[in-house]
Structure 1
Amino acid sequence: MSEAKQPEAGAPLEAPEFAVANFGAMSSGTEVVLVANKLVPMVTAAGLNGVAATAVAILHLSPQSAKELALLLTGVVADYEALYGPLRSPFIDERQKK
């Protein structure tokens, strides 16, 4: 893997960007793996037949980095909800019941 060159001060970052619909996560105890997915249409001989998730990026994190990411995202979401109100989805609702 090549080393990314550092941008000049004030220059935009140059890195791949991904549209992500959902995430999968798994852990071995020493590593956390996040799989970023996008949704793609499924086409068969009969025509359009639903959607499927396909991976666009796989991130390997230490458990410590995963916790730091979780804390960072928790803060970002709290700031968003303070401005715009609570975020809702079936996944969020189910997790908040626990």
Structure 2
Amino acid sequence: MTDPQSVPPAYSPAPATQPKGLSIAALVLGIASIPLGLFGVFGLIIGVLAVVFGFVARGRQPYARRLWLVGLILGFVGIVIAIVSIILGVLLVAAALNGGTTSP
């Protein structure tokens, strides 16, 4: 008969991973803020949430640096896109109310 100590285990336990929820949330919101930034205020809110989640994850999850860093960068890009689209929207509305003509 074989020695019980020499028999390998039937399965090996899964390695423990560290939670990355905040970093993943920052990344998903950052990705979503890019196309939603074209819709103005809604994209601005999503971009701000991505930045907030990114900075919170930066403090709590330093091991998930790639995720929260990309989320932060995309969140800031989404904010810029949203601000530009809001400004363009206001200018278009102002031009439409003005009748498309400029006064001397």
More helix by share: 2
Same fold by TM-score, threshold 0.5 exceeded? no
Q: TM-score, normalised by structure 2?
A: 0.28
Q: TM-score, normalised by structure 1?
A: 0.29
More strand by share: 1
Q: Which has the higher contact order (CA 8 A, sep 6+)?
A: 2
